[in-house]
Amino acid sequence: MTTTHPTKGETMNATLETITINGVEYAAISAAGPEVLIRTYSAGVHIGNLKSRDGREVVLTNARRLYSWQGAFTLNAVATLGVSRSGSRISKPVPEITLLDAIEIIPVASNVDLSTTEE
């Protein structure tokens, strides 16, 4: 999309990822925190974007529960190498979840797909 201001002759180009105004390109800054894998004391394993942490209380956005997995031996391997998609169960996401007893926070590698396996 290109728009020209009718009186000043300024131009603006836009895509979903960037916007260019008078030759200067601007990119959106993601409001989502880094994707992490959280192991809790009694609520299982969760994957999502880290919104906040206060002691053992962790808030995730776009949160999924990892019910079971194959193709990785440890949670460190899940976060760094991923899982077998056909042998693993990852729930559909909820917009936000607060986990009250996080005991492990592991960053997920950017090339690892831990999106839902549910249809």
pLDDT in tens, 58-94: 999 999 999 999 999 999 999 999 999 999 999 999 9
Decide: residue 117, CB within 10 A, 0-12 exposed, 13-18 middle, 19+ buried.
Answer: buried
Show me where the domains of the chain are located: 1-30, 35-107
CB 20 within 8 A of CB 83: no
35-107 is classed in which CATH architecture? Roll (2.30)
pLDDT in tens, 63-72: 999 999 999 9
The whole-model pTM stands at: 0.72
What pLDDT, on the 0 to 100 scale, is given for residue 37? 97
Q: How far does Cα 35 stand from its chain's mean position?
A: 4
pLDDT in tens, 13-53: 555 566 777 877 776 555 567 999 999 999 999 999 999 99
- For every residue of 71-85, DSSP letters joined together read S-SSHHHHHHH---T
- What token pair was written down for 9? 């002759």
What pLDDT, on the 0 to 100 scale, is given for residue 118? 87
Q: What are phi and psi of 77, to 5 degrees?
A: -70, -40
